[in-house]
A = this chain, B = another copy of it.
Amino acid sequence: MKAKVLINGYGSIGKRVADAVSAQKDMEVIGVTKTKPDFDAKLATELGYKLYCAIPDKERVKAFEEAGIPIEGTILDVIEEADIVVDGAPKKVGKENLEKIYKPNKVKAILQGGEKAKDVEDNFNALWSYERCYGKSYVRVVSCNTTGLCRILYALKDFGIKKARVVLVRRGADPNDDKTGPINAIKPNPVTVPSHHGPDVVSVVPELKDKIITSAVIVPTTLMHQHTLMVEVESEVKREDILEKINETPRIILVREKEGFSSTAKIIEFARDLGRKRYDLPELCVWEESVNTLGNEIFLMQAVHQESIVVPENIDCIRAMLEMEDDKFKSIEKTNKALNLIK
């Protein structure tokens, strides 16, 4: 029997997780929800997803009817069927949904990185906390930036991380966002140092407490985030050993400037040429030339596709929470194969 997954909020993350769940052999989408009848809602029904109104409210339901978009009912008509809900609601709404809908209806739920660590039982990254989240009911898949950091720090963990310093250069807006800026500025966000990204990594990897310091700026681009890492480790380390560890780690790929990967634009072009739906690239990309060591310190630069990096993590999180597979590497392999990831 396939695990029954409800996607609450068919938005940027929700629509991707819906497709990713559908691609797996051991789970299925029993429905997706929208708060209003926009083109995303229409597309969901055209793609064959059963559509429900995310808010159990007569006026809302009527709006769908008036727009000629057929719905099956409201979230309350389907939630009992679900083994788990993947929440794709906007920031802070996930927490509301958890308290008002998921807990009262006794359904397991995955929240996204916009919610707070303290509002859930645990925080998920497939490499670091799969076992810890096994069988749990309310788990948060950490944000795109945190996921990228967790992956690379997993690759580096055997060198003994003493202090990781990271500067994040964040994309200003997603490609479909026509209201957010900046379009010509660099914006410290937050202006205070360190930023919240360090503690967010620690929510997944408690042993990094006081060992990771992050800061972030926002810049005018829509494609990917970029991170510069400076990681002090226990002893001197060779560049080749780092490259080997990166190669061994799932969902991290090396890109080379000398092969044309001179920027995030070139990386995304690669995803487009691969024929990836929506040009998604859930693999973390590390620039090979940037990997360097000076004594006990490792340097590298990486790029994170903000819209898709957490998608395979959501799939593995479902398997962990529903106790469908107790070996994280097997789950990762299943997910990657179904999604046709490079590794």
A187 within 8 A of B: yes
Do A191 and B223 touch across chains, with their CB atoms under 8 A apart?
Answer: no
Do B188 and A301 touch across chains, with their CB atoms under 8 A apart?
Answer: yes
A: contact size bracket: 35 or more
Question: Distance in Å from the Cβ of A19 to the closest Cβ of chain B?
Answer: 25
Mask for A157-181, Cβ within 8 A of B = 1, else 0? 0000000010101010000000000
A257 (CB) vs chain B CBs: closest residue? B191
Contacts of A165 in B (CB 8 A): 165, 230
Do A219 and B219 touch across chains, with their CB atoms under 8 A apart?
Answer: yes
**Complex: A297 Cα to B165 Cα, angstroms:** 11
A292 within 8 A of B: yes
Contact segment of A65-73, A131-139, A146-154, A260-268: A260-268
Give the 6 A-B residue pairs with the shortest CB-CB distance, closest first: A185-B265, A187-B263, A167-B167, A193-B299, A185-B263, A219-B219
| 24 sample A-B contacts, Cβ–Cβ < 8 Å, listed by A number | A165-B230, A167-B228, A171-B186, A184-B222, A185-B266, A186-B219, A186-B225, A186-B226, A186-B264, A187-B262, A187-B265, A188-B226, A188-B263, A191-B287, A191-B301, A194-B292, A213-B230, A215-B290, A215-B301, A217-B226, A217-B228, A219-B221, A220-B220, A230-B230
Give the oligomeric copy count: 2
A302 (CB) vs chain B CBs: closest residue? B188
| The residue from B167, B264, B289 contacting A185, defined by CB atoms under 8 A apart | B264
Mask for A175-208, Cβ within 8 A of B = 1, else 0? 0000000101111100111100000000000000
A82 within 8 A of B: no
User: Which A residues form the contact surface with B (CB < 8 A)?
Assistant: 165, 167, 169, 171, 182, 184-188, 191-194, 213, 215, 217-226, 228, 230, 257, 262-266, 287, 289-290, 292, 294, 297, 299-301, 303
